[in-house]
Amino acid sequence: LHQAAQRGHVEVARLLVEHGADINARTDDGRTLLHEVAQRGHVEVARLLVDRGADIGARTDDGRTPLHQAARKGRLEVVRLLVDRGADINARTNLGWTPLHQAAYHSPRGFLEVVRFLVEHEADIHARTDRDRTVLSVLKATRRQQQEVRDFLTEIGIAE
């Protein structure tokens, strides 16, 4: 199942799930299949897993949810699916990072849509990590030139 899902083979994954494959099995670091497909952006496989009862709030050993994984990789369609299906938009990792922190920190060009979606769906724009870092300070720490994301965060009132 992991191989089919990671490669985005929805029909093979569906067949395996129908024949009893464990959709909530975990890797050594606590990742579920939903974490994997969220990170890879396979929205149809993610939808199949969620429809079949995958744990949308499952946490890795370091506290990341499938939503964290999708946000940190800029997988907007998976982010939408997970939020629409009830994922905790303000879930925190063991270090206090929210999906919004993840999206901002890992954002190459194109993540503005993920950041904007999370904010529009009531992500806590004032959340601070365990090291007291805001979303904007996390973004600035990357030393990447993410001016569009930075400008958006500043416009909506996120302080450093």
Reported as a single tens digit per residue, the pLDDT across 43-66 is 999 999 999 999 999 999 999 999
* Higher-pLDDT residue of 140, 20: 20
- The DSSP secondary-structure symbol of 18 reads H
Give yes or no for residue 160 having a pLDDT over 80: no
Task: Give me the pLDDT at residue 129, please.
Answer: 96
Mean pLDDT of all residues in 116-122? 95
Domain containing 114: what range?
2-155
> Does some domain include residue 160?
no
Check: CB of residue 136 under 8 Å from CB of residue 112.
no
Specify if 128 maps to a domain: yes
Number of domains in the chain: 1
Judged by DSSP in three states, 75 sits in coil
Question: Which residues fall within 8 angstroms of residue 85, CB to CB, at 6 or more apart?
Answer: 50, 56
Over 80: is that where the pLDDT of 147 sits?
Answer: no
Least confident range from 20-24, 37-41, 63-67: namely 20-24
pLDDT interval class at 153 (50, 70, 90): confident
Higher pLDDT, 136 or 42: 42
* Mean pLDDT in residue range 125-150: 82
- Mean pLDDT score across all residues of the chain: 89
User: Mean pLDDT across the stretch 23-50?
Assistant: 94
Residue labelled with tokens 């922190």: 101
CB 32 within 8 A of CB 59: no
CATH number of 48's domain: 1.25.40.20
Predicted local distance difference test score (pLDDT) of residue 109: 56
Domain for residue 55, yes or no?
A: yes
